[in-house]
Amino acid sequence: MDNLYLALVHFPVVNKKNEPIGSALTTIDLHDMARASMTFGVRGFYVITPFQDQADLADQVIRHWTHGAGGRLNPSRKQALELVRVTQTFETAVEQIYAERNQPVVTIATSAKKHKNSVSTRKLKQRLGSNASHVLVFGTAWGLAQELVDNCDLQLDPITGTGDYNHLSVRSAASIYLDRLTND
pLDDT digits (tens, 9 = 90+) for 26-65: 999 999 999 999 999 999 999 999 999 999 999 999 999 9
Which of 101-110, 112-121, 148-157 is the least confident region?
A: 112-121
Domain boundaries, the chain: 4-182
- CA–CA distance, 180 with 78 (Å, rounded to integer): 25
**CATH number for region 4-182:** 3.40.1280.10
Q: What is the pTM of this model?
A: 0.96
pLDDT digits (tens, 9 = 90+) for 129-146: 889 999 999 999 999 999
Mean pLDDT, all residues of the chain:
95
